[in-house]
Structure 1
Amino acid sequence: MKKKELTQQPPENKKRGGVAGFFERFSSQVIYATGSAWAFCTALGVIILWAVTGPVFGFSDTWQLVINTGTTIITFLMVFVIQKSQNKESKSVQLKLNELIAANRSASNRLIVAEDLSEEELDVLHKYYCKLADETKRRIDMRESHSVEEAIDNTEEKMQD
């Protein structure tokens, strides 16, 4: 059987402009910076400095407000930056998995769009694969199963014997 070539090519990796492009670049840099040991040490240093200055300011309401406001603002903004990073990472992993499924002749192409299924549909698939795994565990050689369909056929044949 001849392989079909895709007519649509993935978009080129171009720098996006505007707000979306700015946020993309900004979030990548922030995630990289905040995930470093230096960022942790800096945050720890700020907390220690704040705690040490407590007696100087008499542990006043303003002194407490400074750290509360600062951490609240940073946390609020980081939620969006981290979510952007998670979305990008998740999409990247999903595309890689889709490529592996599409490239493997024995794999079921029905799962390429599994991320678009409803929670109920995912539960049905999950139960199906749990049952399939239980049946497959009974086999001596786990490598015999190459695809869902093949595993079912092999399991049914074994049960008939």
Structure 2
Amino acid sequence: MDDSKSSWYSRFAKVAARFCGRPHVFTIAAALIVVWIVSGPLFGFSDTWQLVINTGTTIVTFLMVFLIQNTQNRDTEAMQVKLDELIRATKGAHNALLDLEELEEDKLEAFRRRYQALAKQARGEIDLGAVDTDCPEA
């Protein structure tokens, strides 16, 4: 997708997530809760009084889940690209690890087992006084 034509939702989610994550927004939300609590006696702690806060918080929570997920997805994608670039640019690194998050579970598990074995071997060698640096397979 062309950056100049990023979706309206992406742009909205970025702005909303930045705005909602600021301390003054939390303060406003907390103040609204205090106003609601203080207004309880005024409304006789009625069912409608309770329904107002329940409905409001449910709607806000429901919408925030989507904004948070969008932000999380975008951040994860960016981090994966950065990690892929570090792997690609590092001499001795295994390029097979690029885009690892896209593998099926069984193939991912095989990589995990391989690296667990390497870690166990390295810890054993450290216990014997070896140095744990460089690329052991080179």
Aligned to 1:85: 71
1:124 is displaced (CA, Å) by: 1.9
After TM superposition, give the deviation of residue 15 of structure 1 in Å. 2.5
Q: 1:94 aligns with which of 76, 80, 83?
A: 80
| 1:142 is aligned to 2:128 | no
Matched, 1:122 2:108: yes
Letter in 2 for 1:94: Q
Across the aligned residues of Structure 1 and Structure 2, the Cα RMSD in angstroms comes to: 1.5
Which of 47, 62, 72 matches 1:61?
Answer: 47
Counterpart selection for 1:105 from 91, 115, 118: 91
Correspondence for 2:4: 15
Matches of 1:39 and 1:15, distance apart in 2:
29
Distance 2:14 2:4 in 1: 13
Q: Residue 33 of structure 1 is aligned with which of 19, 23, 47? A: 19
Question: How does the TM-score come out when normalised to structure 2?
Answer: 0.90
Cα offsets for 1:21-63 (capped at 9, x unmatched)? 2111111111101111111111110111111101100011110
Tell me, which stretches of 5 or more residues in structure 1 are unaligned? Answer: 1-10, 151-161
Query: Residues of 1 paired with 2:79 and 2:29: CA distance?
Result: 31
Secondary structure (helix, strand or coil) at the match of 1:105 reads coil
Unpaired runs of at least 5, structure 2:
none
Q: 1: CA distance between counterparts of 2:9 and 2:58? A: 20
CA distance in 2, matches of 1:118, 1:57: 57
C-alpha distance in 1 between matches for 2:52 and 2:91: 60
The CA deviation at 1:65 is 0.5
Identical columns (%):
41
